[in-house]
Amino acid sequence: MECKSSNSRTYNQILNQFGTHYIANSSLEHKAAQRLTMYEFMEYILKSFYTSTGWNENNSYENIIATSQGDGTINGSLAYLYTSTPLKHVLGTKEISLQDAIQGYRVIRPPLYHTYNNGFIPFQPHSLYYGRMYFPGSALEAMVVKRISESSQLLVKCVSHENLKNNGTMTFYYQVDTGRLSSEYIFSTNEALLGFRCLYNFRQGAERLNTALYNNSSLSIGAEVWYGALNMSPGLSAALRYSTQSTYTGKPLTMTLACNPILGHISSTYSVRTSASSTFSSRYDFNIYSYDSDLSFGCELWNSSNHDLTKLPLKHIDPKLPPHSKHSPQDQTVIEAFENLVKETDFSSVVKIATTLNDRNLKLKWEGRFRDFLVSTGVDIGLDSNSIPSSVGIQKCGLQLQYSS
Amino acid sequence: MSCNISWDSFEEGSFLAWSKELLYDALNSGKRPHILSSEIKIKELTFGKQSPSFEILEIGDLANDRFRGIFKLKYDGDANITLNTNIQANLLNIYERNSQEISQASSFALPNFKLASQPFSLPLNVTLSNIKLSGIIVVVFSKSKGLTLVFKNDPLENIKVSSTFDNVPVIERFLQKQIENQIRDLFRDILPSVLHKVSQKWTTNNIISQLHSKINEQNNDQLKNERISIFEINPSEPELSPTNMLKLSTLNTSRQSFRLSIPPLQDVIERPMLFKFEQKSKSSFGDNFAINTKNIPIELLINKSTNNDDYQINSTLTTISKIQSKYYSNEKNNNKLKRRSIKMNKKSKKSSSTTATNSVSMNTEDTLVEENSQSQHEITKDESSVKEIPSTPMENLYEKDPTHGFQYIEIPSAINLTNPILKRPPLTPVNTQTDSNSFPSSYPRSHSPRKSQSYLLNVGIGMNNYGFLDAPPPPYHY
């Protein structure tokens, strides 16, 4: 059975919830790197590698590996991949379920205190080698993942391109992940950048008891520190995340609060999965020095080809009961039933919409499966008729096709 | 020996605006560096009151086509310039953008910054003032090679750089040093090369080759495609024509008055009058005729079954012809407008005799009055008439009133071919209209040069809706 537990480990997780991640990072521009909402094939392979080796994968991989549309041209690349462990459950685009291929709302469950893989997979040092060459232009990227111990892993990524300084960049990530605290040490040769990220999960009261009360909420705090030694550029941010699942309906929600003390920037998000096929989230930014503020909204709507979704399980509670007895062993079933519903439903496509109040444009994206291809198309529509030049109408659009077998 | 420079001409508005524009384009051309998060704007630019002083130290070579001399330049005035822009204060954001823009793959090795790379831009104002120059220039000019200008020493003696970051001494010193170095480079390298390039346009050899290339061009293109702006020929030409400004100002001031009634504009109906106009025209036409159509009502001309057929067709046709004539005449054609007469509904001979006299071609305004006096014909409703498109540039609108029959109504001439726009002669009021229901009624006009002189029916061609009627003139004008 695949052990694809979705425990959150790294700091990136906090801000990688659909709300902030999607809104903050997914831009449907041609030229800018399209921060992922559809996994590239490489990332999918990588995820499989992680599950095969028992590494708790939910880290920021999907985000570091950028998918870019190219400047409206068709780009090609050739890749080489070697792993020392057989990858399990790698499916082609025909059979892959859309939930696995498309990044969406990630449910954060509180980490169980004991070993996360429950001893199913004994530890063995595994490694993965990957290289890719792009055709127009001569860029080469390579990656090596080496599992050093049960709780640590080393990742090396490098890029070679003639426009870069020194013709290339190499970045090292050393990740340590115990159950409670996960930290990451980063060094990049571009400007000699040093970085440190960590994420700490608070212990829940119920977890200590680990008894009948199934409390699915978790509180985590994380931070990142950066320092570019050559150009003396510092960076610092900290974030707090609270994530829980409703015990009545099983629907998960997440709230985060992040700040950047150097710039005086504060950001807060709220995202909730309102049904098995829709998610909504909002984000509010504020800068205490420049009083800039921004409000963003996003939503995700999944469609399924069979229109008879099983009815969501709902638990009914007698409000007259005292608080402690409102929880029951039924909670767990409700939550799990919802999660199963989400996992098992055969979705055919998803529509994502995002908008911000500052930019006054609407971003739409459609992802789905079309005749064995995974298709992702997006468009950026301007709504501001007061700006100079007036920007009403479609500003940018993009298309991405993916096939594997 | 020294030269007198009229520095005041530099302070003139048009030159100042032109140089601001030039500077703006030069500063914002090319790719914007990531450190700037918005464009560079020229907030203020003055050339000061004092002019630089030129002194001729030595003249080495003077001939018809060449010149060589050494000048001394001194400037100690109060010219200054202020620039305004926004800079990106988050260095990590700049780092991220630099890595992303290079290629698709270059962001592969970029760590995923979260809030640490949030953009944060700060406004910046930089003012350069207290410019002191003192230098010796060697000028060599030859008609064949152009102008060469070299500074023998570094002319910049003093420049004061002040900015919004003056509170931070580190940044202040940094900016001062950087800008001083840049200005020194400007005088030493950039200015001579730019002047040399510009001067090459005006030297003889180049002129001949330019002429050759232009002739070759014109063999391929047509002359008409080349557009020359007045600015190129005569840069001192004011941008706006004085006559246009006069017209606009009279138009503008005509509205700035407490008078309740305002002289109307040509071919325009005032918004407060629109309601009345619509009511009036609705009542006279009846409901069959759509007032607000913007298209030519083709159905009227094709179908013969509706009731008010004749009248509507007549009015439609006359309006169309009137509009066409107006367009034609507006192009100041002095040819006679020849029109084809199309006869419709030949049913009665009686009417044909009458129409023969109606369709006299008229070219002048003088005959207008005479015609009207003769032209009271009545045709009963039962007989359908031969309809003819009137063949005059001066429109006669004849209207078939259901009760009174045909009547001629004189319309004042829409186009005055001989007089300029601002000086139209007073119109002769000729009013033959008796029935208040018929449309349009002509009002006696007062003598105002801007009076609208046309009535137009409500049939529009193209984008303009010609369903306008002038407001009645103010009563106390009589």
- Predicted confidence (pLDDT) per residue in A39-88, tens digit: 455 555 555 555 555 454 433 222 222 223 333 445 666 666 666 666 55
Separation in Å, CA of A72 to nearest CA in chain B: 12
Distance, in Å, from the CA atom of A109 to the CA atom of A332, rounded to the nearest integer, reads 13
- Predicted confidence (pLDDT) per residue in B107-142, tens digit: 888 888 878 888 898 999 999 998 999 999 999 888
* Nearest Cα to Cα of residue A8 among A152, A147, A154, A111: A111
- What is the structure's pLDDT at B125? 93
Q: Are A137 and B103 inside 8 Å of each other by CB? A: yes
Show the beta-strand stretches assigned E in B346-426: 397-401, 405-409
The alpha carbon dihedral of B259, B261, B265, B266 has a sign of: negative
ipTM score of complex: 0.74
Residues linked to residue A131 through DSSP beta bridges, in sequence order: A80, A142
From residue B435, give the alpha-carbon distance in Å to each of A315, B314, B315, B402.
84, 19, 17, 11
Residue A166 pLDDT > 60: yes
B164 touches chain A (CB under 8 A): no
Structure tokens at B19: 């140089």
Structure tokens at B48: 């000061």
User: What is the maximum span of chain B, computed from C-alpha positions, in angstroms?
Assistant: 103
The residue-averaged pLDDT of B305-314 equals 67
Q: Which residue has the higher pLDDT, A343 or A313?
A: A343
Give contacts of B94 with chain A, Cβ < 8 Å. Answer: 233
Give contacts of A12 with chain B, Cβ < 8 Å. Answer: 112, 114
Cβ proximity of A374 and A38 under 8 Å: yes
Distance, in Å, from the CA atom of A202 to the CA atom of B150, rounded to the nearest integer, reads 73
- Predicted confidence (pLDDT) per residue in A221-272, tens digit: 888 899 989 888 889 888 888 888 777 777 788 888 888 999 999 988 888 8
3-state secondary structure of A170: strand
Separation in Å, CA of B304 to nearest CA in chain A: 47
Q: Are B102 and A161 inside 8 Å of each other by CB? A: yes
Q: Which residue of B has its CA nearest to A235?
A: B116
Cβ proximity of A333 and A313 under 8 Å: yes
Cβ proximity of B300 and B316 under 8 Å: yes
Q: Which residue of B has its CA nearest to A16?
A: B114
Residue B337 pLDDT > 80: no
- What is the structure's pLDDT at B222? 56
Confidence of residue A106 (pLDDT cuts 50, 70, 90): low
B31 touches chain A (CB under 8 A): no
Confidence of residue B9 (pLDDT cuts 50, 70, 90): confident
B38 touches chain A (CB under 8 A): no
- What is the structure's pLDDT at B223? 54
Residue B468 pLDDT > 60: no
Which of A37-46, A373-382, B386-395 has the highest average model confidence (pLDDT)? A373-382
- What is the structure's pLDDT at A277? 82
Rounded to 10 degrees, the C-alpha dihedral B396/B400/B403/B404 comes to: 30
- Predicted confidence (pLDDT) per residue in B346-378, tens digit: 554 444 444 433 433 344 333 333 333 333 343
Show the beta-strand stretches assigned E in A42-134: 67-68, 77-83, 127-134
The residue-averaged pLDDT of A206-234 equals 73
DSSP string across A216-269: --EEEEEEEEEEETTTTEEEEEEEEEEEEE-TTT--EEEEEEEEETTTTEEEEE
Separation in Å, CA of B226 to nearest CA in chain A: 28
Nearest to B108 among A65, A163, A290 (CB): A65
Distance, in Å, from the CA atom of A22 to the CA atom of A280, rounded to the nearest integer, reads 11
Confidence of residue A194 (pLDDT cuts 50, 70, 90): very high
Rounded to the nearest 5 degrees, what angle is found at the Cα of B371, between the Cα atoms of B335 and B433? 120
For chain A, give the mean pLDDT: 69
pTM summary value: 0.57
Task: Please give the single-letter amino acid code of residue A81.
Answer: L
Distance, in Å, from the CA atom of A25 to the CA atom of A3, rounded to the nearest integer, reads 28
From residue A101, give the alpha-carbon distance in Å to each of A47, A90, A263, A348.
11, 11, 36, 12
| H or E element in which residue B95 lies | helix B91-102
DSSP H stretches of helix in B256-382: 271-285, 298-302, 309-330, 349-358, 366-374
Give contacts of A237 with chain B, Cβ < 8 Å. Answer: 114-116, 118
Distance, in Å, from the CA atom of B469 to the CA atom of B254, rounded to the nearest integer, reads 19
Percentage of chain A modeled with pLDDT above 70: 57
Cβ proximity of B14 and B237 under 8 Å: no
3-state secondary structure of B77: coil
Residue B19, Cβ neighbours under 10 Å: how many?
A: 15
Give contacts of A186 with chain B, Cβ < 8 Å. Answer: 111
- Predicted confidence (pLDDT) per residue in B260-283, tens digit: 766 666 777 777 778 877 777 766
Identify the structural domains of chain A with CATH numbers, from first to last. 11-402 (2.40.160.10)
Cβ proximity of A90 and A50 under 8 Å: no
Distance, in Å, from the CA atom of A50 to the CA atom of A43, rounded to the nearest integer, reads 10
Length of chain B: 478
Q: Which residue has the higher pLDDT, A312 or B452?
A: A312
Q: Which residue has the higher pLDDT, B312 or A159?
A: A159
Rounded to 10 degrees, the C-alpha dihedral B217/B221/B224/B228 comes to: -40
Separation in Å, CA of A306 to nearest CA in chain B: 38
- Predicted confidence (pLDDT) per residue in A261-295, tens digit: 999 999 888 888 888 788 888 889 999 998 989 89
Cβ proximity of B320 and B461 under 8 Å: yes
Q: By mean pLDDT, which of A98-102, A195-199, B58-62, B415-419 is the weakest?
A: B415-419
Distance, in Å, from the CA atom of B80 to the CA atom of B130, rounded to the nearest integer, reads 7
* Nearest Cα to Cα of residue B268 among B117, B470, B48: B470
Show the beta-strand stretches assigned E in A65-150: 67-68, 77-83, 127-134, 140-149
The residue-averaged pLDDT of B382-391 equals 41
Task: Please give the single-letter amino acid code of residue B152.
Answer: K
Q: What are phi and psi of A42, to 5 degrees?
A: -60, -40
Give contacts of A23 with chain B, Cβ < 8 Å. Answer: none
Q: Are A163 and B89 inside 8 Å of each other by CB? A: no
Percentage of chain A modeled with pLDDT above 90: 7
Which residues are CB-contacts of A127 (< 8 A; sequence separation ≥ 6)? A83, A84, A144, A145, A146, A147
Q: What is the DSSP letter of A320?
A: T
Q: Which residue of A has its CA nearest to B121?
A: A290
Give contacts of B115 with chain A, Cβ < 8 Å. Answer: 15, 237, 239, 258-260, 265, 267
Residue A122 pLDDT > 90: no
The alpha carbon dihedral of B25, B30, B34, B37 has a sign of: positive
Q: Which residue has the higher pLDDT, B388 or B14?
A: B14
- What is the structure's pLDDT at A70? 31
| H or E element in which residue A331 lies | helix A330-344
Rounded to the nearest 5 degrees, what angle is found at the Cα of B221, between the Cα atoms of B219 and B224? 120
When scoring A69, A173, A226, A268 by the number of chain B Cβ atoms within 10 A, the one with the most, hence best to mutate, is A226
Q: Which residue has the tokens 């509170």?
A: B167
Q: Are B114 and A11 inside 8 Å of each other by CB? A: yes
Distance, in Å, from the CA atom of A44 to the CA atom of A374, rounded to the nearest integer, reads 13
Burial class (CB in 10 A: 0-12, 13-18, 19+), A18: buried
B113 touches chain A (CB under 8 A): yes
Q: Which residue has the higher pLDDT, B326 or A173?
A: A173
Give contacts of A33 with chain B, Cβ < 8 Å. Answer: 100, 104, 107
- What is the structure's pLDDT at A378? 85
Alpha carbons within 13 angstroms on the beta-carbon side of residue A76 total 3
Q: Which residue of A has its CA nearest to B98?
A: A164
- What is the structure's pLDDT at B109? 85
Confidence of residue A100 (pLDDT cuts 50, 70, 90): low
- Predicted confidence (pLDDT) per residue in B148-165, tens digit: 889 988 888 889 999 998
The residue-averaged pLDDT of B190-214 equals 77
Residues linked to residue A81 through DSSP beta bridges, in sequence order: A130
Nearest to A158 among B89, B104, B109 (CB): B109
β-strand pairing of B41-46 with A252-260: unpaired
